[in-house]
């Protein structure tokens, strides 16, 4: 039963996962460092908003900026179980001079989190920046009451229990009598409440 429920959850999750769009058709625009950067979901709707907390970003090739903080907010109407994204910085001529990755678990609608960007190395004095959502995994809630009738209504479901190599067919909510040694045991397979 747990295996079937796990398969249903994984199937639903895999259908809902969205990924990064290509840069040519995406709406993620470069914005000045003081403005809010917006990342879009797979359908082109705003999903995340980010603002920089770190203001001193004047890096150079020999002394890059390696520690920045930003606040990311879920601006969509979907709660997420897992979010990752890419932050990219550009110099005055539009050349990429630093990028890093952020992530968060369990991000509700209109919830924000503050994070750092591990591994980032900004090698210029950036003029603009942008964010791209690379993974937006929606939080999926399953109602056990709606899953149970589906499983119980499967008339062609073939279940078999094997006791010491002896196989016995099982039907949900129907008693099965097994002789174990000198005693008879009645087994009933039911759905958990």
- Which is more confidently placed, 29 or 149? 29
143 has a pLDDT exceeding 70: no
**150 Cβ partners below 8 Å, 6+ apart?**
none
Cα gap 129→127, rounded to integer Å: 7
Same domain for 159 and 96? no
Tell whether 160 and 75 lie within a shared domain: no
Instruction: Tell me: pLDDT of 16 over 50.
Output: yes
Q: Which pLDDT value is given to residue 133?
A: 94
Give per-residue pLDDT as tens, 48-89: 999 999 888 888 888 888 889 999 999 999 999 999 999 999
pLDDT at 17: 57
On whether both 84 and 159 belong to a single domain, the answer is no
pLDDT value, residue 22: 42
Distances (CA, A) of 135 to 70, 75, 120, 132: 18, 15, 19, 9
Q: Is there a single domain that holds both residue 32 and residue 93?
A: yes
Q: Concatenate the DSSP letters of all residues of 20-67 into one string.
A: PPPTTT-----EETTSPEEEE-TTSSEEEEEEES-------SSS-B--
State how far the Cα of 22 lies from the Cα of 109, in Å rounded to an integer: 25
Q: What is the mean pLDDT of the chain?
A: 81
- Structural domain span for residue 80: 2-138
For residue range 166-180, list pLDDT tens digits in order. 777 777 777 877 777
Interval 29-51 mean pLDDT: 93
Q: Total structural domains in the chain?
A: 2
Average pLDDT over residues 131-138: 94
Q: What is the CATH number of the domain that holds 31?
A: 2.60.40
| Residue 164: inside a domain | yes
Mean pLDDT of 32-51: 93
- What is the Cβ-side half-sphere exposure of residue 144, based on CA atoms within 13 angstroms? 5
Domain contains 107: yes
């Amino acid at each position: 039963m747990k295996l079937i429920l796990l398969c249903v959850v994984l199937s639903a999750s895999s259908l809902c996962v969205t990924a990064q769009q290509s840069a040519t058709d995406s709406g993620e625009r470069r914005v000045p460092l003081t403005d809010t950067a917006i990342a879009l979901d797979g359908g082109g709707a705003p999903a995340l908003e980010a603002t920089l907390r770190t203001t001193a970003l004047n890096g150079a090739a020999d002394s890059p900026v390696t520690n920045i903080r930003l606040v990311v907010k879920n601006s969509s109407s979907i709660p997420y179980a897992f979010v990752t994204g890419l932050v990219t910085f550009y110099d005055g001529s539009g050349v990429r001079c630093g990028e890093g990755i952020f992530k968060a678990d369990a991000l509700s609608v209109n919830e924000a989190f503050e994070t750092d960007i591990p591994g980032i190395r900004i090698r210029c004095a950036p003029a603009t920046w942008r964010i791209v959502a690379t993974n937006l995994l929606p939080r999926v809630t399953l109602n056990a009451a709606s899953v149970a009738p589906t499983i119980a209504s499967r008339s062609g479901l073939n279940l078999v229990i094997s006791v010491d190599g002896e196989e016995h067919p099982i039907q949900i909510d129907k008693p099965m009598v097994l002789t174990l040694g000198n005693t008879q045991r009645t087994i009933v397979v039911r759905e958990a409440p």
